[in-house]
């Protein structure tokens, strides 16, 4: 799986990791758009948190 993530930037990989953490925290067995949005917001240096 990590080989597939190599094509993403470091920041994008961080957002995906945060999204996975959110999915696990909510006891979901998938990563959906809602988890990605939460990951974007949790990524402290991104544009999403500034909006």
Work out the angle at residue 6's Cα, subtended by the Cα atoms of residues 14 and 34, and round it to the nearest 5 degrees: 40
Quick check: is 50 in a domain?
Answer: no
20 pLDDT higher than 90: yes
Q: What tokens appear for 3 in the block?
A: 């080989």
> Structural domain of residue 30, as residue ranges?
2-44
Q: How many domains does the chain have?
A: 1
Whether this model's pTM surpasses 0.85? no
Residue 6 lies in a domain: yes
Residue 7 domain flag: yes
* Measured distance CA(32)–CA(6) in Å, rounded: 20
Q: Looking at residue 45, what is its pLDDT? A: 80
Instruction: Provide the Cα torsion 7, 10, 13, 14; round to 10°.
Output: 180
Is 12 part of any domain?
yes
């Amino acid at each position: 799986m990590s080989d597939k993530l190599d094509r993403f930037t470091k920041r994008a990989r961080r957002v995906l990791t945060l999204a996975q953490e959110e999915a696990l925290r909510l006891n979901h067995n998938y990563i959906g758009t809602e988890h990605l949005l939460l990951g974007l917001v949790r990524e402290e240096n991104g544009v999403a948190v500034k909006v």
